[in-house]
Structure 1
């Protein structure tokens, strides 16, 4: 086992469904990479709990299996954890959450799309891509981008995302260019002030060094 990355233990408190999904995926990857997927059922179950750790074992001990031997079968154990970590959702509530969610001020286009793409719990029978597209457009912060998206006929989700990404990238580049221009202007002003101060100081020094010459009709010379 030492030559493979260890799997983070199964966290069973916050974001239970998400944590279980990540753990299961990493566990399956480990079995395949290590070759342990061909080992005996008992060994694979033992490996599962070795990574899942104490809390998972405690929950496992409270599972009721239809047959006693099922508790020693990896697929049955995983099925029990699937049901435990993914309880039946309230579809109406999940759909309400989907439509009420808004894009955060600092949230990127890609992050918002990823978050909105998780609509399995909403159980939309069809047209889920159109719903994600509509939610995406409704939550677009820039009025210019939103107006452009609304003008497009038969706009797909992919097209809307690409257009929004392009606008986001352009805004970031313009912001950097503006910051560079402001910084350059400030540097120029500072240099100009420095040169002006230096010129004044030099003129003052020359004035102080002037002496009255009694041999040149009252003229003055720099010493």
Structure 2
């Protein structure tokens, strides 16, 4: 047991009562595992003072211990207990308990364990279980679970914990049923093409080493079959109208919803041409490696559900639409001047 590492020095700052309880527990485990508890009292006391550190030894020098008790470990531990315990700030410890909440990544079991450890130092006595239950109801992360717990008129601690644990497991299972491939890494990609640029939405699979079998090929083939060339937006995406970029958009040619004007099948292109504005100049920056294709530039009246903001450029105020999601924005030359 020569490689057994003892606990660190006793921290005599902050919450002394909590620091002492944690340290003496670690020290007793070290004494048992190392076999020192089988040795003489003089060796045990020396080990205690050595492991506790220089600050603890300075406190030890202030104790009044009879000569016959200086080699008794229990007497030494009692002296340090009396030194640390009266300095327990009960108000602060209870504040830590009552403000405890379940973190974003903390499970219900770890949350309950944390509350029970905090409650040990709060002297709640017979109210311990009921106050832990109340803190679970108030501090749990899921709002739906909190509502269900508040409906219960008779809710013991064990029932509250079991219900929260069952709710946590079922939520995880539902999430897996909705998205069984959630653990697969995927990113949206933009593929280059000659001519007009089109965004291709799909899953970018991590390239497999040639010496390893690619077990995801059947799944990749299935995902490829789900992609379609959309006639409403001109992009390639899964067969689902919700993910289509044109979904919810109004056509500037026919006025109907859910397709772009450049793919309008009504044949009324004259209406679209009438709305096009003349550009003063269209320049190309040779230093920039990417080209951007502008298919249509049109003017539409602002609708009530659109969000605009007026910004000041020098002494001129210009009205902008916020967060359009476009790859590029075009403004009149008179605004630039």
Q: Tell me, yes or no, whether TM beats 0.5.
A: yes
Larger relative contact order (CA 8 Å, sep ≥ 6): 1
The alignment status of 1:192 with 2:191, answered yes or no, reads: no
Equivalent in the alignment of 1:212: none
Q: How does 1:134-149 map to 2 (within 5 A)?
A: 134-149=134-149
Equivalent in the alignment of 1:218: none
Q: Where in structure 2 are there 5+ consecutive unaligned residues?
A: 187-201, 204-219, 230-337
Structure 1 residue 5 displacement after superposition: 1.8
1:82-137 alpha-carbon deviations (Å, 9 max, x no partner): 23333333434433443233333333212221222122332224221011111111
Structure 1 residue 153 displacement after superposition: 4.2
Structure-2-length-normalised TM-score: 0.49
Equivalent in the alignment of 1:152: 152
Structure 1 residue 189 displacement after superposition: 7.7
Equivalent in the alignment of 2:165: 165
Structure 1 residue 76 displacement after superposition: 1.8
Alpha-carbon distance change, 57 to 191 in structure 1, aligned in 2, over 3 angstroms: same
Name segments (4+ residues, structure 1) moved above 4 Å: 13-16, 181-190, 193-196
Alpha-carbon distance change, 143 to 188 in structure 1, aligned in 2, over 3 angstroms: farther
Structure 1 residue 169 displacement after superposition: 2.0
Equivalent in the alignment of 1:94: 93
Structure 1 residue 59 displacement after superposition: 2.9
Equivalent in the alignment of 2:105: 106
- Secondary structure, aligned partner of 1:127: helix
- Secondary structure, aligned partner of 2:109: helix
Aligned pairs, how many? 194
Structure 1 residue 30 displacement after superposition: 3.1
The alignment status of 1:80 with 2:79, answered yes or no, reads: yes
Contact 1:65 1:71 in 2 (8 A): no
Q: How does 1:123-142 map to 2 (within 5 A)?
A: 123-142=123-142
Structure 1 residue 45 displacement after superposition: 0.6
Contact 2:93 2:122 in 1 (8 A): yes
Contact 1:10 1:19 in 2 (8 A): no
The alignment status of 1:28 with 2:61, answered yes or no, reads: no
- State the alpha-carbon separation in 1 of the partners of residues 105 and 43 from structure 2: 47
- The two structures, once aligned, show a CA RMSD in angstroms of 3.2
